């Protein structure tokens, strides 16, 4: 199975072009879209979502990950093996949260140079062919790298900002279960929000924070859009009130 995690969006040609390469090179593999609306141009924020939402997939799953504002630069291309899964993408911090949780992971720098390598679409021209080869059972190409040399290796594990706003207006943050106690408030947009277990535990219209089904701290409004009510956008920062 090959799972796509990108900031491409579902409109336009980019996902289709990348899937065409995967279908040609690994026709027997199922290709799934995990996320095509990861935070645009924000690999650090995307790293938290990738780490959380890639759990639960079968061993051997190959994640093709492209949030790559530095495409065409000298940034390295990586293959990572963690929790018996493979992750392919740029060395720009996109994998830092995954590696923070799995410091025993193996990392390789991709030396592969295809005949066609555009300056602006390495997802199609570089990462997709490598993902297809690994999914097809070919050996991982490249030179082993220590985790400490990767971008983001020294970044703190938490990120006190909004990473993603879903269809309902719930706002996902860069905190995980265990990063914050249930007695701690989240101060954001002039409001101090307290913890609740789930939506039905608060009154209709109430704002609160909770741990979502993937273990991320999420800001919500029962029966409404927390993002609209509070004026939240990707990157909105908050404080913790202990």
Q: Give yes or no: residues 171 and 216 share one domain.
A: yes
Q: Report CA-CA distances (Å) from 27 to 37, 88, 140.
A: 25, 19, 19
Tens of pLDDT, residue by residue over 5-45, are 999 999 999 999 999 999 999 999 999 999 999 999 999 99
What was the pLDDT predicted at 163? 98
**CATH, residue 48:** 3.40.50.10790
Give residue 57's pLDDT band: very low, low, confident or very high (50, 70, 90).
Answer: very high
Decide if 154 is inside a domain: no
Under 8 Å between Cβ of 233 and 179: no
Give residue 143's pLDDT band: very low, low, confident or very high (50, 70, 90).
Answer: confident
Q: Give yes or no: residues 185 and 106 share one domain.
A: no
114 burial level (CB within 10 Å; 0-12, 13-18, 19+) = middle
Global pTM reads: 0.95
Decide if 111 is inside a domain: yes
Using only C-alpha atoms, the chain has a radius of gyration, in whole angstroms, of 19
Look at residues 100, 129, 149 and tell me which one is the last residue of a structural domain. 149
The Cα–Cα gap between 240 and 69 comes to 30
- DSSP H or E run through 90: strand 85-90
The residue range of the domain holding 236 is 159-241
Q: Pairing state of beta strands 106-109 and 85-90?
A: unpaired
What was the pLDDT predicted at 210? 98
Q: Give yes or no: residues 108 and 174 share one domain.
A: no
- Total domains in the fold of the chain: 2
């Amino acid at each position: 199975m090959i799972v796509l995690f990108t900031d491409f969006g579902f409109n336009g040609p980019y996902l289709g072009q990348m899937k065409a390469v995967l279908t040609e090179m690994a026709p027997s593999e199922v290709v799934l879209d995990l996320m095509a609306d990861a935070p645009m141009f924000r690999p650090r924020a995307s790293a938290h979502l990738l780490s959380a939402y890639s759990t639960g997939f079968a061993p051997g799953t190959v994640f093709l990950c492209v949030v790559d504002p530095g495409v065409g630069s000298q940034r390295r291309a990586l293959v990572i093996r963690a929790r018996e899964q493979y992750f392919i993408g740029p060395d720009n911090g996109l994998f830092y949260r995954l590696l923070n949780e799995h410091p025993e992971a193996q990392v390789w720098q991709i030396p592969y140079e295809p005949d066609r390598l555009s300056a602006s679409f390495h997802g199609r021209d570089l990462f997709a062919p490598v993902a297809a080869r690994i999914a097809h059972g070919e050996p991982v190409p490249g030179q082993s790298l220590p985790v400490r040399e990767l971008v983001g290796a020294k970044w703190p594990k938490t990120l006190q900002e909004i990473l993603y706003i879903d269809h309902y207006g719930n706002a996902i943050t860069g905190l995980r279960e265990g990063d914050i106690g249930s007695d701690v408030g989240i101060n954001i947009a002039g409001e101090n929000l307290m913890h609740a277990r789930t939506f039905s535990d608060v009154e209709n219209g109430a704002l609160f924070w909770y741990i979502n089904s993937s273990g991320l701290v999420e800001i919500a409004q029962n029966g409404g859009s927390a993002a609209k009510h509070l004026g939240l956008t990707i990157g909105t920062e908050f404080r913790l009130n202990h």
